[in-house]
Amino acid sequence: MKKVIVGISGGVDSAVAAYLLKEQGYDVEGLFMRNWDATLNNDYLGNPTLNENICPQEQDYNDAKVACEILGIVLHRVDFIKEYWDYVFTYFLEELKKGRTPNPDMLCNKFIKFDLFKKEALKLGADYIATGHYAKIENGSLLKAKDSNKDQTYFLADVPKKQLQNVLFPLGDYTKIEVRIIAQNIGLNVAKKKDSTGICFIGERHYQEFIKNYLKPNPGDIVDVETKKVIGKHTGLMNYTIGQRRNVGLSGDEKRHYVCGKDVFKNILYVAFGDSKYLYSDASLLDNINLYDELPKKLTAKFRYRGEEVPIEVVSVTDKEIKISYPTLAKSVTPGQACVFYDNDRCLGCGFIKEVYKDNKKLWYIS
């Protein structure tokens, strides 16, 4: 009997993944990862109105223990707090200092869930590891999940191909609704548990308040890119991303402005009124490349998880960089985010957005 170690998070997806594998005849055990020390944010502790927003690993662990008891499987536990800080959180802060918008979830998958976790699972005698991600692996290819609304191939695209070997994604052929129904039918304690949202170490807390614990606020001017007038004050460039409209700090008609650029050296946040031309680009330069297969000249790409797939063309490829174009234009393409490649349902890997262009000119909004 083949042994599978399942990453049990305390949520419904990983618990149902473990159940499905057990039903398929695998020898299943769970492994809970603790990646963040919530006590680091002492300003949030002891406040009963905020307790539910503190990435509550202990509650998740308790939920995971109960779920595994219901499933009749062993649950192990491992701490990757130091490794998460070194490989994920430090990178997150450094990218913010550069004015970029990082994606820590992708780094967590690459360095923690499909590397350190896998090594820990091998110590437990695993033949395979499994997670509750909505994705598929078929014939060595990473494919989109049945549930297009929950598909998570975007977040997996930076995991090297070798690390996806001997990995199982049991939920690839299920919708979220179907997963909830299975959980209810077998009496899982987490059947109705709310899905986690946002970045793990921030949760649903106020983003700017959290970041102040690690990066000193540096307020500056908000400038309308067309009129060149100062129309407000920002609280620090690390608190904003390209395309953002809410929580920019503007009032009245100026609330209809979107963030379209940053000047890190002058500490200026640029905004544009409405659906401005300043939000659109037609080409990008990507670095930190991870490819599963050679890219065809024409394919599609997503520039953010909830973004639409955009038809693109590959302009040039080197070992370190790829330049792409998208003549139909794309909105709010953001340095630091991932550009994930697709050929229909097949994910071909990704690169991270280094520079953005329009009409053969590098856009100025990141200095």
Rounded CA-CA distance 283/333 in Å is: 9
Q: Do β-strands 27-34 and 75-79 pair in parallel, antiparallel, or remain unpaired?
A: parallel
3-class SS at 180?
Answer: helix
Q: Are 310 and 301 in contact (CB under 8 A)?
A: yes
Q: What angle (nearest 5°) sits at the alpha carbon of residue 113, between those of residues 60 and 19? A: 60
DSSP code at position 40: G
Which residue in the list 55, 108, 260, 347 is annotated as catalytic? 108
| C-alpha angle 204-206-212 in degrees, rounded to nearest 5 | 130
* 55 classed as catalytic: no
155, containing H or E segment? helix 153-156
Q: Which of 224, 343, 341, 354 is nearest to 281 (CA)?
A: 354
Q: Is 350 a catalytic residue?
A: no
| Residue labelled with tokens 């856009």 | 363
Look up residue 42 and give its two tokens: 């002492």
For residues 15 and 288, give the distance between their C-alpha atoms in angstroms, rounded to a whole number: 33
Strand order in the sheet with 220-224: 230-234, 220-224, 268-273, 257-263
The catalytic site residues sit at 108, 200
